[in-house]
């Protein structure tokens, strides 16, 4: 009986995903359709109650195409077969994650060409969307919840969504997430259909800003960092050049990311000269 119910659920989910998968196939493009968040503005006038809110996990963004895991730019991710074989032929969006404040270790696991079972045992796939272009997010949330329940494997997890009736309740939830080591929260407009690219239907709220930049050059270290990296000179996505000298571990100062590598940095607004204020290194990008 249970097997029959699972089969019916599986077929229903496959049919549900066809509009989205068909569009991807028509474009003959290996780059997945990925919805990207805009930054939540504290002056946002939208009703908080119109959003479903979840924790933002500091992991590796991963899209399950129905056949393989890829990054948001379409590059393959190679987990052990047991990790992905439980997933059906539907499009899923989520985060590969281990635990809070563990991105460097996770990045190493994901980037290893030959997956190591013992490492991947620490990883979960946290699903936060089941994209199709017909249903609003409120329905897609229910769909991926039901799917994860049917799969019933500990490493496949449905990201829980919450609804708040006031900004005060949202702020309290956000502060709890930050206190336990989380990166922030995501706000999904419950009525919004899936869109490719950056959209105001998906917002991120974090205790700091972050952005991406390319390393242009190294600056040598002084004092206790003599003989190691002192700082990096970078150019961000809008062409601003500046230096970043904090946020590096001693190991990273001894073996810094390569010139030309893409990094993420955090900052707290801008100076009067338009430079990122208090910019610090956050991480090197996993190949995307």
pLDDT tens for the 288 residues of the chain, in order: 444 444 444 444 444 444 444 334 333 345 667 888 887 765 565 688 999 999 999 899 999 999 999 998 889 999 999 999 999 999 999 999 999 989 889 999 999 989 999 999 999 999 999 998 899 999 999 999 999 999 999 999 999 999 999 888 998 999 999 889 888 999 999 999 998 888 888 999 888 888 999 999 999 999 999 999 999 999 998 999 999 999 999 999 999 999 999 999 988 778 878 888 889 999 998 665
Count of positions (residues) in the chain: 288
Which residues span the domain enclosing 85?
Answer: 2-205
**What is the CATH number for 246?**
2.40.50.140
Contact 17, 132 (CB under 8 A): yes
Q: Which two tokens stand for residue 34?
A: 């990925």
CA 42 from chain centre, in angstroms, equals 22
pTM of the model: 0.70
- Domain total of the chain: 2
Give the whole-angstrom CA distance, residue 287 versus residue 110: 10
Is 169 found in the same domain as 36?
A: yes
Is 216 found in the same domain as 197?
A: no
Is 139 found in the same domain as 20?
A: yes
Contact 64, 92 (CB under 8 A): yes
């Amino acid at each position: 009986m249970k097997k029959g119910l699972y089969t019916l659920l599986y077929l229903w989910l496959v049919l549900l995903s066809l509009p989205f998968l068909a569009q991807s196939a028509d474009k003959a493009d290996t780059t997945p359709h990925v919805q990207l968040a805009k930054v939540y503005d504290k002056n946002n006038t939208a009703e908080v109650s119109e959003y479903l809110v979840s924790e933002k996990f500091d992991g590796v963004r991963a899209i399950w195409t129905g056949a393989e895991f890829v990054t948001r730019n379409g590059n393959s991710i190679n987990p052990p077969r047991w990790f992905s074989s439980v997933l059906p032929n539907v499009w899923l969006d989520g985060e590969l994650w281990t635990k809070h404040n563990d991105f460097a270790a996770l990045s190493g696991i994901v980037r290893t060409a030959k997956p190591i079972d013992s490492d991947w045992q620490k990883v979960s796939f946290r699903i936060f969307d089941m994209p199709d272009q017909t249903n609003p997010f409120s329905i897609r949330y229910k769909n991926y919840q039901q799917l994860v329940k049917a799969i019933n494997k500990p490493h496949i997890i449905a990201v829980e969504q919450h609804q708040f009736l006031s900004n005060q309740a949202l702020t309290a939830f956000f502060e709890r997430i930050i206190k336990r080591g989380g990166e922030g929260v995501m706000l999904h407009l419950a009525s919004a259909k899936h869109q490719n690219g950056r959209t105001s239907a998906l917002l991120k709220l974090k205790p700091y800003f972050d952005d991406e930049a390319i390393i242009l050059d190294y600056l040598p270290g002084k004092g206790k960092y003599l003989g190691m990296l002192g700082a990096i000179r970078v150019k961000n996505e809008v062409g601003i050049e500046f230096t970043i000298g904090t946020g590096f571990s001693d190991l990273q100062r001894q073996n810094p990311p390569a010139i030309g590598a893409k990094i993420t940095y955090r900052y707290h607004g801008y100076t009067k000269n338009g430079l990122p204020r208090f910019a610090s290194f956050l991480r090197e990008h996993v190949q995307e």
